[in-house]
A and B are shown apart, each in its own frame.
Chain A
């Protein structure tokens, strides 16, 4: 189909084209909800079954990094919304600026995620043969009194957990299986989003987005917000389930 300006040949008008792509994006997001939904269901059922182990797993996550990441991602949603708004009101240079800012924030999120994954590798918390929930407690050498007390408290917690759930090794692996599957799939969506942002920035640099034609910014914005919302659910479900220290 031939293209005249921004209008693709299969459409009669720009409005029809915009309506179609926006509807298409929303339907795509519906499929995404169901895609993640299957995993959230698996999470829910396993957490219901093995709450103690999930609590133990959750408490090993770095809450500081998690919180920072949540803030970073919410900020990126704000900048994305600003980019959409700039396109709608015709502030061309600001479209590019806000898109770049969104890309930077998204990359910061992914960077922090890499740091967190690395920690899990170091602490033997990757499901598989060398998985060991006791690794950190048994292999850390405390230097200060405070650290020593902290370690003792953790050892105590693990002992208590083992009393309620003797097979905590297996069940904590379930938690980490889900942790990596869920955050991994989320990160994959972030990477795809980053790719889309790079494409948007290139198009935006050519000044293509105007108040009349800005559907790509809007639709990729919708996608970005969706990925953001998934994290808003993942954060409490993975990081905050049994925090009491």
Chain B
């Protein structure tokens, strides 16, 4: 059952955040403190890094077409996978959803005029750009071959690549993340509109609150760790250098204390996106609101207690391995709570298959596979066998690409009409979503098998019997690339030629859909007063949701 709301003809608002200060040109962008414009600055810059990382990924996949390696020397191969990881993780995945969609939406969703600290918000973008320049300098003057994990003493003593500028760049970039997290937490605490209580917050905001906790508590630790490793490299100190009595395993502990929770920086916002999309296109209140909200916080908290599962093969004590294995399993509980609640929301919903919904459904499936294979890795016995194999690669790409990037692209599609005020071509977007899904699975599913058969990660060559699966994976990667390039074209096309969207095209119930598209600079013409529950899709004749007198599905599907 699908209810089509009546679509009136819309016009763009006369004045909105995109055309304010039009005469001031570039200055009105690089000196803006408007969170919506800063979000677009971030959108442009993370896209640049996504393509840089994507080029490295393409070269990796082409190289692995033949067992002996088709494209580059072993040394260059080391640099390719390292730079792919650094560009994608630190400069695309971590800022993607929070700094682009979160930045744009959080103030609007809670009914504020801006974030609590608009200037700090702009500062965080500049910090990101400066950090990015250092890393690009490293990439272009010798590259980086340590692996994105910068394990010492390889990174601090022995590597002959441009480690120092890369470490400085990532150190600097960390502060961008910290400031974004700080801004979100303060904003959600103090800037909510009248009536916007904690349990009326959109789940997107809850997810970003949890993400911000990880950002402010984890990022300083990796900052000091990389600083110490960098000092060690620059001044020949010995914190992590076994030759001087330092402890390289300590580096790994400190590094993963941030870098494991960093996975939750990537996935939690994507979960927030999915929690917005699912009820909108199922036209039903979300199932288990408070459980989804609480599970975000639970993931952030438990996420801090699992880092040493990356170190199971370092010879750590069996007892601590046992404890970390158990704690790693625990993360599955709040993650599963979310998946079950989304599924329950779909049950008896009036589902429509718009592009954002396809991405969200893709997310649920891929995240579930990624999450369940994570449990294999948390299991001590299995981890001994598949540690540092392509099984791990496939697992975390299912989480990061299948989960986080799907969520990001889905979110872009969902809020694109709000951001630009225009609609993109629906059929083309659905086609792209399906291409992306097929390409992704074809790329990474074979890697599960490869890893299980024993192909180690980070090797530039492999035994001939692995070739078929590697060729499949490369073929999938080229389909995946098409899936990423398509939205680039039609989204940009829609900015100029797309149909005018109107304030609430889907329609959805969030506060962000109550203002113009694109919103005015101060977000709302009048400060909104919230007197309804979130995701209240049952009683919204104003949205056309009871059009034709057809009753909508009940909230819990059971009454």
Contacts and interface: CB of A to CB of B under 8 A. Distances in A.
A28 B123 CA distance: 15
Given A16-B190, A41-B254, A170 B245 contact: yes
Given A20-B186, A31-B220, A1 B237 contact: no
Nearest to B250: A45
Given A20-B190, A20-B191, A10 B182 contact: no
Contact of A27 (B186, B223, B243, B245): B186
Nearest to A128: B236
Nearest to A50: B245
Contacts of A21: 116
Contact of B191 (A10, A49, A167): A10
Interface residues of A, number: 38
B190 A174 contact: no
Contact of A177 (B115, B221, B239): B239
Contacts of A28: 182
B235 A127 contact: yes
A42 B235 contact: no
Interface in A128-157: 128
A171 B239 CA distance: 10
A212 interface: no
Contacts of A41: 250, 254
A42 B250 contact: yes
A20 B245 CA distance: 46
B189 interface: yes
B169 interface: no
Interface in A1-30: 1, 9-12, 16, 19-21, 23-24, 27-28, 30
A174 B114 contact: no
Sorting the interface of chain B by its residue count into under 10, 10 to 19, 20 to 34 or 35 or more gives 35 or more
A185 B114 CA distance: 34
Given A171-B244, A173-B237, A181-B239, 6 more contacts: A38-B225, A38-B228, A41-B254, A45-B250, A127-B238, A170-B244
27 contacts: A1-B118, A10-B113, A10-B115, A10-B118, A20-B116, A20-B186, A20-B190, A21-B116, A23-B185, A24-B183, A27-B182, A30-B216, A31-B216, A31-B217, A34-B218, A35-B221, A38-B228, A41-B250, A41-B254, A45-B250, A128-B236, A171-B244, A174-B239, A174-B246, A177-B237, A177-B239, A181-B237
Given A35-B224, A174-B245, A178-B239, A19 B219 contact: no
A214 interface: no
A11 B190 CA distance: 9
A12 B529 CA distance: 14
B552 interface: no
A84 B272 CA distance: 41
Contacts of A9: 113-114, 522
A16 B113 CA distance: 13
A23 B228 CA distance: 29
Contacts of A128: 235-236
A10 B114 contact: yes
Given A38-B224, A181-B231, A19 B216 contact: no
Given A10-B115, A45-B250, A1 B33 contact: yes
A24 B116 contact: yes
B527 interface: yes
Q: Which 8 A-B pairs have the closest CB atoms?
A: A38-B224, A35-B220, A177-B237, A10-B114, A34-B220, A20-B116, A20-B190, A170-B244
Contacts of A16: 190-191
Contacts of B187: 20
Contacts of A23: 185-186, 189-190
Contacts of B231: 177, 181
B178 interface: yes
A111 interface: no
B127 to A, nearest CB: 14
Contacts of A37: 220-221, 224
Interface in B514-542: 522, 527
B376 interface: no
Nearest to A9: B113
A42 B118 CA distance: 36
Interface in B135-193: 178, 182-183, 185-187, 189-191
Contacts of B235: 127-128
A20 B191 CA distance: 8
Given A1-B118, A9-B113, A36-B224, A171 B182 contact: no
Nearest to A8: B118
Contacts of B185: 23, 27
A24 B228 contact: no
B117 A24 contact: yes
